[in-house]
Homo-oligomer: A and B are copies of this chain.
Amino acid sequence: MKEDVRMLKDGIYGQFARIGKALSSPRRLELLDLLSQGPKSVETLSRETMMSVANVSQHLQTLLEARLVIFEKKGTYAIYRLSSSTTSRLLLLMQELAEELLAEVKQLREQFYRGELEAISLEGLQDRMQNEDVILIDVRPKEEYEYAHIPGAYSVPITELEQHLKQLPPEQKIVAYCRGRYCVYAAQAVDQLRSHGYQAVRLEEGIREWKVLSIPE
């Protein structure tokens, strides 16, 4: 009887470990992070992560086996997506825990933003959207904006920011966001905007955090 319980426990933790194993590789964590911003092809994931297509494909097979992703074929393209939004929440919590426990994460964050960690939070954004004439811009690739974005945001992919500057009055106050706490697009956008004299600030979080907190507009 006690052996029965032991076997059941071993079985159930073996299943839980399927999720854990999928999350044990830095490469797969990055792939999952990218996919939580929207569905993507193998080729797109390869380009974004600078991994070979074969390597991306292998890691995606591992994620498929753990049921964390699903895919559909569109022509020769295999479009992968997360199978559950719970995976996004799990990734966020994992990152929160890593920030809490690992000093190295803090150090790397400072390198991400070269000492200039100043940003506003989602609560601060809400204040400003209600009380000030600010524009919120989403500097991720357009496809990710189209998949999901913070309500009230305009899509200005970082690669197109320069062209968009002409359309903004110089006194316009701007908040820029991208994929979240470990993406540099928003910081780069703020640098660029400030160099043209705009009052710009970075939003710390992205659409995933917005969804979890469910802050209404």
Binding site for B on A (CB under 8 A): 5-6, 8-21, 23-27, 29-30, 33, 49-50, 66-68, 83-84, 86-87, 89-90, 93-98, 100-102, 104-105, 108-109, 111-112, 182, 184
Contacts and interface: CB of A to CB of B under 8 A. Distances in A.
**What is the oligomeric copy number?**
2
Contacts of A67: 101-102
A107 B27 CA distance: 31
B8 A27 contact: no
Given A8-B108, A9-B182, A102 B25 contact: no
A196 to B, nearest CB: 19
Contacts of A14: 26
Given A8-B112, A26-B14, A90 B94 contact: yes
A155 to B, nearest CB: 21
A24 B94 CA distance: 13
Contacts of A6: 50
A28 B90 CA distance: 18
A98 B19 contact: yes
A50 B105 CA distance: 35
A15 B90 contact: no
Nearest to A181: B12
Contacts of A105: 12, 15-16
**Can you list the 10 inter-chain pairs with the closest CB atoms, starting with the nearest?**
A20-B23, A13-B26, A67-B101, A24-B24, A17-B26, A20-B24, A21-B24, A86-B97, A14-B26, A13-B30
A86 B11 CA distance: 25
Nearest to A25: B17
A96 B104 contact: no
